[in-house]
Amino acid sequence: MKVLIVGAGGREHAIAWKISQNEKVEKIFIAPGNAGAELLEKAENVNLSNNIEEYVKFAKNNKIDLTFVGSEELLVAGIVDEFRKNRLKIFGPDKKAAILEGSKAFSKDFMKKYGIKTAVYEIFDDANKAKEFLNNWSDFPVVVKASGLAAGKGVIIAQNHDEAIKAVEDIMVDEKFGSAGNQVVIEEFLDGVEASILSFTDSKVIVPLLSAKDHKKIGENETGLNTGGMGVISPNPYVTDEVFESFKNDIMNPTLKGIQAEEMDFEGVIFFGLMITKKGVYLLEYNMRLGDPETQAVLPLLENDLLELVEYSFDKKLSELKVSWKPLHSCCVVGAAKGYPESYKKGDVITGIENASDDELVFIAGAKFEDGKFKTNGGRVLNAVAFGKTLDEARKNAYKLLSKIKFDGMYFRKDIGNVK
C-alpha cells in the first residue's frame, strides 16, 4: 500500500510515523516534504508545489492508494473534490465542508443556525462599520478575528477600545494577514480554559479522540504573541466527564446535525476548539484537519492503527469501531528558533535527536536535512514528546528529552502542562 501525506510540519511527521506502523504500508510519500522522513524507513519526501493538479498527477503516476491531508490550505482550495473527480482515494473534507475552517464568518453563522453553543458575535466586511460597532462596545476584553486562514495567528484579544480599533486596522486596513482579513468577526471574550478535541467523522457519526490542551502564546503563563502552538498535553485535565457530556450535547451532536442538514458528505477530521468557562462549554472554532501540535501528543496514545479509523470512515462504519487508548499521559514541548513568532534565523545545526530513547519521540517541524545533518529551517523547529503514568511524570520526561537536543538559540516554554 502506498500513502501520500499532504503537508510539511510536525503534524505530518507524526501522521507518517503512526501510519508507518501498519505492515501493509510499503511506502509513504510526504509532500511538499518533512525532514522527519529521514527518521522513517518507509518515508520519502516529494517536493510538490501548492498546485492541486500536481498532487493529482503524482497520485495517478505513482498509484497512490490513499492520500491523507494534514494541512488546511489545500483542503479549502478543494483538493478533495479534484481527487474524487479523478477517482483517487483521499481522506479529508471537500470544499463545501472545509469552509467551516476556511471562513470564520461562515462557521459562526453555521453555529448560530444549528444551536451550537458559541460566543456572541458580529461579522463585518467594512473596517469603518467594524470600528463604529466597537465605539458602542463596552465589555472588554473583546476578540477580533480575521475570517480567513491565517496559520492560527489571526485572532487578537483586545484589552481595551484602542487595542480593538488597532486590531481592525491591522487586519482590514494594513492587511496584516492578507486576504484572510477581508472580513472580521468581532465576538465576546470568553474567560476560561481552552481544550482541543480532535475527532473522526464519516458524516454519519462523529468519533471524538482523546482531549488535549494547547499552549498558544509564546511566553509563559500565556503571555506575548500568538503562535501556532508551543506545546500540548493529553488528556486535558480540565475535560472532566461533565465537560465532555456538555461538549457532546451542546456542540458535537448539533454539529453533526448541521453537517447532515447542509449535505456535507465527507470522511475526515473535525477539530473542535473549545473554551471551558464557569457558564459552560463553548465552541471557539472548527478546524477541518488534525491540529498541530495536538496530533503529536494524541496519536502516540492511540492503540488503534490510524488507517483502521480511516478505512472505517470510508466504509461509513465508524460507529462500529472501538477506539482504545494507552493508559498514559503525553506531553509535547515545542523547541522554537530564537525570535519566533517574529523574525528568526535559519540554518543552525541541530544535535541530539538521535539521543531519544525508545519511549521518547522527536517530531521534526521547521527543519531540513542537509549534508547529513538536521538544520533549523522554520519557527517551530521540533517537538519533544514523552509519556508518563501521570501528567507530572510526562512533563518531566518531555523536558528531560528536550535537554538532550541542542541548536543555537533554542527557545521553549518551561510551563507546558502546568495545571493550576
Q: What is the mean pLDDT of residues 155-159?
A: 91
Q: What is the pLDDT of residue 148?
A: 80
Residue 367: predicted pLDDT: 98
pLDDT for 17 beyond 70: yes
Is a pLDDT exceeding 80 seen at residue 420? no
Q: Identify the pLDDT of residue 178.
A: 86
| pLDDT, average across residues 268-287 | 96
Cite the residue boundaries of each domain of the chain with CATH code 3.30.1490.20: 126-182
HSE, side-chain direction, 13 A CA sphere, residue 289: 30
pLDDT of residue 152: 66
Does residue 91 contact residue 268 with C-beta atoms inside 8 Å?
yes
Question: What is the CATH topology of the domain spanning 329-402?
Answer: Glycinamide Ribonucleotide Synthetase; Chain A, domain 4 (3.90.600)
Q: Which three cell numbers stand for residue 381?
A: 523547529
Which pLDDT value is given to residue 176? 83
pLDDT at 38: 96
Closest CA to 347 of 326, 323, 371, 328: 371
- Return the pLDDT at 154: 82
> Does 325 score more than 90 pLDDT?
yes
Residue 134 CA: distances (Å) to CA of 137, 147, 254, 361, 405 = 5, 17, 31, 46, 47
Q: Range(s) for CATH 3.90.600.10 in the chain? A: 329-402
- The whole-number pLDDT of residue 50 equals 84
pLDDT of residue 150: 75
Residue 395 has pLDDT above 70, yes or no: yes
pTM above 0.85, yes or no: yes
Digit-coded pLDDT (tens) for 118-154: 998 999 999 999 999 999 888 899 999 998 887 767 8
* Average pLDDT score over the chain: 95
- CATH for 2-92, among 3.30.70.1110, 3.40.50.20, 3.50.50.60, 3.40.640.10? 3.40.50.20
For the chain, residues classed under CATH 3.40.50.20 are 2-92
Segment 40-57 shows an average pLDDT of: 95
Residue range 258-263: average pLDDT? 97
User: What is the structure's pLDDT at 166?
Assistant: 94
3-state secondary structure string across 143-206: EEEECCCCCCCCEEEECCHHHHHHHHHHHHHCCCCHHHHCCEEEEECCCCEEEEEEEEECCCCE
Asked if the model's pLDDT at residue 112 lies above 80, the reply is yes
From CA 212, how far away is CA 267, in angstroms rounded? Answer: 22
Superfamily of domain 126-182: ATP-grasp fold, A domain (3.30.1490.20)
Highest mean pLDDT: which range of 144-158, 160-174, 256-270:
256-270
What is the edge-to-edge ordering of all strands in the sheet holding 121-124?
121-124, 184-188, 142-146, 155-158
Closest to 14 measured CA to CA, from 413, 384, 400:
384
Q: In the CATH scheme, what is the code of domain 193-320? A: 3.30.470.20
Chain segment 347-392, per-residue pLDDT in tens: 999 999 999 999 999 999 999 999 999 999 999 999 999 999 999 9
Q: What mean pLDDT comes out for the span 154-170?
A: 92
pLDDT at 93 over 90: yes
Cα radius of gyration (the chain): 21
